[in-house]
Amino acid sequence: MDPYLGRELFASPRRSLARDCGPPARRRQWAAMCLLSVVLVTGARSANATPLDEAAERYRPYMTEGIGQALAGARDLRGRIAAKDLAGARKAWIAARAGWERSEVFTAGFVPELDAQIDAWPNADTGFHAIEAKLFGANRIDVENETDALVDHLSNLHGKLRNMPLTPQGLLDGTVRLAYEVGESKADGGESRISGTSLDDMRNNISGIQLAYRIIFAAVLKSADRKFADAVDGKIEELKALLAGRDLQRVDIPKLRRESEELVVALQSAAAMLRLQRPTLEAASR
């Protein structure tokens, strides 16, 4: 039986069915055969999917939501710039960053070119940080071209998310690398120093890490070693607690670095239990 029959059936208008399938009794028989085909094909695909594959797919709506928030913020930023509203433009930039930073679990690994165009640093001549330098550093609002490009890149990315292949390995790699980046290059306030939002960046990074861990990896890891899985979750909570202060100056940076490294090691160790390859840090820096 042709596995595409079901798709063709449900894509065809009613009059085409009448024309192609003949009398009502025959049409009912044909529809039943097509429906069975759809069930068999779907079941075969599901049978080949591992629990981690299915969990990675459950992550997709959250990934889409995060980039959608970044895109909405960037569009608001464009409107604020057109209105010459510097304060409003800064708020819109910060709102766009929140959605983006929660999404960095996947951006560098799955869409490296767009990641570089959207969030390159330091010495960025495009993306968030090129805009940041003018809005926050120079008190300038002449960022129309940079903002248009940011909206275009985020819109392009948002459009790719529905059909982007998601792999548990790629998502674990991204989770580990982002955890490393929080303690290594973001802890000193380096990435968003001009806007003063590095603390928010790290908070959103850890929220993204926790979301990915709980949706994709926690259940499978608990079935292998519940105590270890709970320990990983505990390390994420410790990082959240460290970043709960009012400003970056109140954060215990040496402890933040240690906790970040411990989370990286824990997630790397979890790979064997998840039957995945041990993630490396090769793509951790941009």
- CATH code at position 108: 1.20.1420.20
91 and 35 within one domain = no
34 and 70 within one domain = no
59 and 42 within one domain = no
Find out whether 267 and 216 touch, Cβ atoms under 8 Å: no
Q: Is the dihedral of CA 185, 191, 193, 198 positive or negative?
A: negative
111 and 20 within one domain = no
234 and 164 within one domain = yes
Any domain includes 166: yes
Give the integer Cα–Cα distance in Å for 60 and 275.
Answer: 21
Any domain includes 282: no
Range of the domain at 26: 5-48
89 and 29 within one domain = no
Condensed to tens digits (0 to 9), the pLDDT of residues 189-229 reads 778 999 999 999 999 999 999 999 999 999 999 999 999 99
Any domain includes 280: no
Give the integer Cα–Cα distance in Å for 171 and 177.
Answer: 10
Any domain includes 105: yes
Any domain includes 279: no
55 and 172 within one domain = yes
217 and 75 within one domain = yes
Find out whether 62 and 209 touch, Cβ atoms under 8 Å: no
pLDDT interval class at 38 (50, 70, 90): very low
* pTM summary value: 0.81
67 and 40 within one domain = no
Any domain includes 242: yes
40 and 110 within one domain = no
Any domain includes 286: no
* 49 pLDDT higher than 90: no
97 and 36 within one domain = no
Q: Among 48, 65, 82, where does a domain finish?
A: 48
Question: Within 51-167, where are the H helices?
Answer: 51-82, 86-102, 104-110, 112-119, 127-132, 144-160
Structural domains counted in the chain: 2
Condensed to tens digits (0 to 9), the pLDDT of residues 80-139 reads 999 999 999 999 999 999 999 999 999 999 999 999 999 998 788 999 999 999 999 999
Condensed to tens digits (0 to 9), the pLDDT of residues 143-189 reads 999 999 999 999 999 999 999 999 999 999 999 999 999 988 788 77
150 and 204 within one domain = yes
